């Protein structure tokens, strides 16, 4: 059931469900999350069951304030506080050493925990009132596309779930994950918070981590895949090949405006600005999936650093690795 996330009665119902160990879907600025009280192992187990997510994949715990950081993490390094001060609430997840009491299922048995303060007014209000930690992976079946609207959640997980509708997600792709749990800081998953922004705050260069030993479901190919067969093509290839494609079953995602075939029925034209493109990308993929496209052809966006996270998600949607 979809309810307005800003209604006090909806928030109260969500808190009651979380408190008794049940699930609720919540809006965040990245994607919608499937939330459970992270302190209750039985509640967290329901997330894995509903999503059909392997229990070896750890979850991000969402908190409502910096004051809660030390409830969940220990030996927090100074630079993690600097990142938190600069970017929380926001689309940044920090990997830190976990507090001993944290249930094993949350961290998949690892000694580290992923923490984030989301920047969504309704989510923040809920988290502050709940005053605990909420484990919340994306509210979709495992390997499916992340939801950026309440309707996407209902489509994937059904209408029995209480879904707080906080409007379309404004960032639109998953958070940047930064590992601060060892001496060296590294980015485990790119997001709209870029390596440059992180490096500037820390006054040191921060790199993407290629082959991590830490288990990350987001690192599996096809993790963010639409149902349709998704292919990435250059503008030139699209412009020359579109005419031989079956327009009834082919969807297109473009960002440039001068494409002659843009009158084809199933075209989602996104912004040429990376933040706006990211915000709308999953919505466009969901939309083309719902139009039952057999294949989705995506015009490759520019390869500048501002597009890095978008590229990573597009490559995952296409089942490719980003070389």
Q: Is 112 in the site for Mg ion (CB under 5 A)?
A: no
Which of residues 64, 89, 217, 274 is near ligand AMP by CB under 6 A? 217
Q: Dihedral of CA 168/48/74/187: which sign?
A: negative
Query: Closer CB to Mg ion, residue 28 or residue 39?
Result: 28
Nearer to ligand AMP, 110 or 129 (CB): 110
Instruction: Report, in Å, the least distance between residue 234 CB and ligand AMP.
Output: 29
Phi, psi of 184 (to 5 degrees): -100, 140
Residue 156, interface with Mg ion (CB under 5 A)? no
Q: Shortest Cβ distance from residue 310 to Mg ion (Å)?
A: 16
Cβ proximity to ligand AMP: between 48 and 130 the closer is 48
Residues 6+ apart with CB under 8 A from 276: 270
- Give Cα separations from 307 to 15, 57, 253, 254 (angstroms): 37, 27, 15, 14
Is residue 138 a contact point for ligand AMP (CB under 6 A)?
Answer: yes
Interaction between residue 95 and ligand AMP (CB under 6 A)? yes
3 state SS of 24? strand
In angstroms, what is the minimal distance from the CB of 177 to ligand AMP?
Answer: 5
Cβ-based nearer residue to ligand AMP, 213 or 246? 213
Least Cβ distance, residue 51 to Mg ion (angstroms)? 8
- Say which entry of ligand AMP, Mg ion, none residue 214 contacts (CB below 5 to 8 A, set by partner kind): ligand AMP
CB of 240 to ligand AMP, least distance (A): 37
177 near ligand AMP (CB under 6 A): yes
176 lies in the site for ligand AMP, by CB under 6 A: no
Minimum CB separation from ligand AMP for residue 146, in Å?
7
Cis, peptide link before residue 89, omega less than 30° from 0: yes
- Count of beta carbons in the 10 Å neighbourhood of residue 195: 19
Which member of 93, 107, 119, 138 binds Mg ion (CB under 5 A)?
138
Tokens of 147: 């939801």
Report the run of H or E that residue 127 belongs to, with start and end.
helix 121-130
CB atoms within 10 A of CB 8: 9
Stretch that binds ligand AMP, among 51-59, 149-157, 165-173, 236-244 (CB under 6 A): 51-59
Distance separating alpha carbons of residues 98 and 110, to the nearest angstrom: 8
Choose the one of ligand AMP, Mg ion, none that binds residue 114, judging by a C-beta under 5 to 8 angstroms depending on kind: ligand AMP
Residue 95 pairs in a beta bridge with 114, 179
Examine residue 46 and tell whether it contacts ligand AMP (CB under 6 A): no
User: Which helix (H) or strand (E) is 62 found in, with range?
Assistant: strand 60-62
Q: Which CB atom, from 146 or from 268, has the smaller least distance to Mg ion?
A: 146
Q: CA 322, CA 316: separation in Å to the nearest integer?
A: 8
Nearer to Mg ion, 138 or 194 (CB): 138
Q: How far apart are the C-alpha atoms of 105 and 176, rounded to whole Å? A: 22
Residues 6+ apart with CB under 8 A from 88: 66, 116, 117, 119
Residues 6 or more apart whose Cβ sits within 8 Å of residue 277: 255, 270, 271, 301, 307, 310
Q: Which residues bind ligand AMP (CB under 6 A)?
A: 57-60, 93, 95, 107, 110, 112-114, 137-138, 174, 177, 188-189, 214-218
Residues in contact with Mg ion by CB under 5 A are: 138
């Amino acid at each position: 059931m979809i309810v307005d996330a800003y209604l006090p009665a909806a928030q109260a119902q969500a808190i009651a469900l979380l408190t008794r160990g049940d699930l609720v879907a919540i809006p965040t600025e990245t994607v919608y999350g499937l939330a459970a009280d992270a302190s209750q192992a039985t509640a967290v187990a329901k997330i894995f069951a509903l999503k059909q997510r392997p229990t070896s994949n750890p979850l991000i715990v969402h908190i409502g304030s910096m004051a809660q950081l030390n409830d969940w993490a220990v030996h927090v390094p100074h630079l993690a506080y600097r990142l938190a001060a600069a970017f929380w609430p926001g689309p940044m997840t920090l990997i830190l050493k976990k507090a001993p009491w944290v249930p094993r299922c949350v961290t998949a048995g690892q000694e580290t925990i992923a923490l984030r303060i989301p920047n969504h007014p309704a989510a923040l209000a809920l988290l502050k009132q709940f005053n605990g930690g909420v484990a919340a992976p994306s509210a979709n079946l495992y390997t499916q596309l992340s939801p950026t609207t309440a309707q996407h959640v209902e489509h994937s997980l059904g209408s029995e779930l209480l879904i707080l509708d906080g409007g379309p997600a404004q960032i639109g792709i998953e958070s940047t994950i930064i590992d601060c749990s060892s001496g060296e800081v590294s980015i485990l998953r790119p997001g709209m918070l870029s390596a440059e922004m992180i490096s500037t705050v820390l006054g040191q260069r921060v790199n993407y981590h290629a082959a991590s030993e830490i288990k990350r479901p987001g690192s599996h190919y096809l993790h963010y895949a639409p149902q349709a067969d998704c292919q990435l093509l250059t503008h030139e290839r699209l412009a020359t090949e579109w005419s031989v494609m079956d327009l009834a079953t082919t969807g297109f995602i473009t960002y440039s405006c001068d494409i002659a075939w843009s009158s084809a029925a199933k075209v989602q034209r996104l912004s040429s600005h990376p933040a706006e493109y990211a915000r709308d990308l999953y919505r466009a993929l969901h939309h083309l999936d719902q139009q039952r496209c057999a294949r989705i052809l995506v015009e490759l966006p520019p390869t500048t650093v501002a597009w890095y996270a978008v590229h990573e998600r597009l490559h995952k949607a296409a089942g490719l690795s980003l070389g």
